[in-house]
Amino acid sequence: MTHRSRLAGQIPLLSLIVLCAVTALLTDRFVSPLNLTNILVQSSIMAVIAMGMTFVIVGGGFDLSVGSTAALAGCVAAMVMLEAGITVGVIAGIIAGALVGLANGLVIAFLNVNAFITTLGTMVLVRGIVFLLTGGAPVSGETGLPGEFIAFGSERLFGIHYLVWAPMLLLAMLSFVLQATPYGRRVYATGGGREAAYLSGVPVRRVIASTYVWCGALAGIAGVMLAARLQSGQPTAGEFYELTAIAAVVLGGASLHGGEGTLYKSVIGVFIMIVLGNALNLLNVDSYWQRVAVGAVIIAAAAAERLRSEH
Amino acid sequence: MLKPRFAVLAAGLAVAVSLAIPPAASAQEKTTIGVSLAQDDNPFYIAMLRGIRARAQELGWDVATVSANEDKLKQINGVQDLVARGVKGILISPIDAVGVNAAYDAAAAAKIPIVSVARGSSSPNQTIHVAMDEKRIGRDIAEWTAKKLGGKGKVALLMGPSGAPTFKNLGDGYSEVMAKYPEIHIVFRSDGPLTRERGVKQAEDALVAHPDLAAIYTANDDVALGAMQAVNAANRKGKTLVTGMNGVPPALRAVKEENLAMTVELNPVEWGRLGVDVLAAFLKGEKVDPRVFIKHVIIDGTNVDAKLPKT
């Protein structure tokens, strides 16, 4: 790596630091322990979704269905949990997410259907299934979801929220998978150049399909976390999460052309999105202006990505 | 080329942050209250916020707002931000009765009173709920409609977002009364967001399924204005009565033009003012009922002139 590209690779982190520093200068509330904890908890669920999205984007794909998938997983988990206990419910939710990912992956990799269209389709289709399953009403049973599950959405272990432990452990595990295993190298190779990867013996179709399974399963985990946070399975939850996740992954320096991107940088991208929202709220910026600001940042990030890829 | 690239991102962040500077972030001495509404682009909430701001200004208070846009997680995050900001009290219109309970918990943990205005919550940490008598309004709308229809005809119900008890109570009150009329049949019923777009679409569908529809009940004026467009497009003006709810100015004009049969004036500006007054009384240590009711007035062709905004 050249000196220049190494520095360019740190743009996401530098942006986050600048953003935090500017906010801290403008309001002393920002660096309070309460607010910093809030930021971690607020980032946790989106971080898990963004990690799954990173797999797909590094593999050269795209997934619009993660928000619907998270809603499905949350509702399935809540419904199963009320009948069969927390563990079975959580597993059922994650499996539901992985199955959506598998369906996406098979259609995209083996039927060669465009990823944008396929996942646009599943985004709508899965949302329909969620409404059919739940009758459109939130799932919380007669007396609410099990107390231990709700505690998972609000309480702490060693001073850190359970909701924050989840992405930390996942980040460590999945970074290993993506950076240090032959499988991980195949994902990068496939996204970097499908033809070349195929010619060098990478089973590109299986690799592509697998990235969607990761994405679906992680959206499933995020959905379960969301249900714990919202103390119910919410059929309307997760709308527009796909857009935030994609924006975060791009903010983290991944290329939408595939083959580039790192999990921890995507998580930094999530922090940028969440800290921006948090800062604007703390500074009492009008909510209409907030939309303008968030949009401007997304475009700026995409522009930075474009400029970087020209070299 | 590193510098320009970094500059692009930095500029984006700078734009975002500089937007924050104008409001008086330094006025620490003043009492600041936080406001989190379910939506920031619905005329009802816009008017309510106007009332909140007006009354707060009279009391010499500052108002900090955060937006939620019907995203439950975003509402929880926003309230956490308000708590971190150190507001003295919070006015909230929760998206649903269970899903944002974590927001109430966050306020309670910081001993900040949190008053629900309009929609309410099941949270034990809800300090006070300022709202209309929903069932009674539903019954009043139904009685008015049944009288107009001469006690017979097919009726469609365009309810509110699933899970929000306000709209369930309105619909229950309505259905309760209609059940007493053997020749009135509810033939169509759907949940959905409170948007004009959805009103058009679902009213169109209802009219295709039942061309002889005698009345459409809507949970909100925006939905009603959409339904009214569909009714007019189907040449059913005057034959299919559309009833609204809320009494926003465009709906009042539609009642005057006989496009809308009736609406219920809730005067959201007054709600906002009442919410602030209730919070002020509570902060002063006065005894306030946990449930405060707001008056409502039915507006139809007979009394609309007096209610129209003066031009």
Percent of chain A with pLDDT over 90: 52
- Residue ranges of E strands in chain A: 156-157, 160-161
Q: Is the pLDDT of residue A80 over 50?
A: yes
What pLDDT sits at residue A1? Answer: 44
What pLDDT sits at residue B124? Answer: 93
Separation CA A247–CA A266 (nearest Å): 9
Average pLDDT of every residue of chain A: 89
Over residues A147-162, the mean pLDDT reads: 86
How large is the C-alpha radius of gyration of chain B?
22
Whether residue B96 lies within 8 A of chain A, CB to CB, comes out as: yes
Q: Is the pLDDT of residue A137 over 80?
A: no
The burial of B136, by beta-carbon neighbours within 10 Å (0-12 exposed, 13-18 middle, 19 or more buried), is given as middle
| pLDDT tens for each residue of B227-264 | 998 899 888 998 999 999 988 888 998 999 889 999 99
Percent of chain B with pLDDT over 90: 56
User: N- to C-terminal Cα distance for chain A?
Assistant: 12
Q: What is the SS3 string spanning chain B?
A: CHHHHHHHHHHHHHHHHHCCCCCCCCCCCCCEEEEECCCCCCHHHHHHHHHHHHHHHHHCCEEEEECCCCCHHHHHHHHHHHHHHCCCEEEECCCCCCCCHHHHHHHHHCCCCEEEECCCCCCCCCCEEEEECHHHHHHHHHHHHHHHCCCEEEEEEECCCCCCHHHHHHHHHHHHHHCCCCEEEEEEEECCCCCHHHHHHHHHHHHHHCCCCCEEEECCHHHHHHHHHHHHHCCCCCCCEEECCECCHHHHHHHHCCCCCEEEECCHHHHHHHHHHHHHHHHCCCCCCCEEEECCEEEECCCHHHHCCCC
The answer to whether the Cβ–Cβ distance between B98 and A140 falls below 8 Å is yes
Q: Is the pLDDT of residue B30 over 90?
A: no
What pLDDT sits at residue B8? Answer: 54
Tokens of A90: 């959580």
What pLDDT sits at residue A177? Answer: 95
Mutate which of B3, B13, B70 to disrupt the A interface (most A C-beta within 10 Å)? B13
Whether residue B81 lies within 8 A of chain A, CB to CB, comes out as: yes
pTM: 0.75
Q: Is the pLDDT of residue B18 over 90?
A: no
What pLDDT sits at residue A42? Answer: 86
DSSP state for residue A259 in the 8-state scheme:
S
Q: Is the pLDDT of residue B290 over 80?
A: yes
Q: Is the pLDDT of residue A196 over 60?
A: yes
Q: Is the pLDDT of residue A10 over 70?
A: yes
What pLDDT sits at residue B53? Answer: 95
What residues of chain B lie within 8 A of the CB of A23, using their CB? Answer: 17
Tokens of A31: 């660096």
Tokens of B164: 């929000």
Over residues B272-298, the mean pLDDT reads: 92
Separation CA B10–CA B54 (nearest Å): 37
| pLDDT tens for each residue of B96-138 | 888 899 999 999 999 999 999 988 898 999 999 998 888 999 9
How sure is the predictor about A160, in pLDDT bands with cuts at 50, 70 and 90?
Answer: confident
Cα A192 from chain centroid (whole Å): 21
* Residue of A10 and A165 predicted with greater confidence: A165
Q: Is the pLDDT of residue B161 over 80?
A: yes
Are the C-beta atoms of residues A15 and A272 closer than 8 Å to each other? yes
How do strand B62-66 and strand B114-117 relate by DSSP bridges? Answer: unpaired
How sure is the predictor about B1, in pLDDT bands with cuts at 50, 70 and 90?
Answer: very low
Q: Is the pLDDT of residue A2 over 50?
A: no
Distance from CA of B67 to the nearest CA of A (A): 6
Q: Is the pLDDT of residue B10 over 70?
A: no
Separation CA A79–CA A134 (nearest Å): 9
What are the angstrom distances between the C-alpha of B120 and each of A93, A144, A195, A223?
Answer: 29, 17, 57, 25
What pLDDT sits at residue B9? Answer: 53
How sure is the predictor about A291, in pLDDT bands with cuts at 50, 70 and 90?
Answer: confident
Dihedral sign of CA atoms B225, B231, B235, B236 in order = negative
Q: Is the pLDDT of residue B153 over 90?
A: yes
What residues of chain B lie within 8 A of the CB of A138, using their CB? Answer: 96, 98-99, 162-163
Of B6, B13, B81, the CB nearest to A278: B81
Over residues A283-308, the mean pLDDT reads: 80
| pLDDT tens for each residue of A226-248 | 999 888 888 888 888 998 899 99
How sure is the predictor about A63, in pLDDT bands with cuts at 50, 70 and 90?
Answer: very high
* Residue of B111 and A255 predicted with greater confidence: B111
Whether residue B13 lies within 8 A of chain A, CB to CB, comes out as: yes
Separation CA B115–CA B130 (nearest Å): 7
The residue assigned the tokens 């033809």 is A195
Separation CA B84–CA A58 (nearest Å): 37
User: How many other C-beta atoms can be found within 10 angstroms of the C-beta atom of residue B261?
Assistant: 23
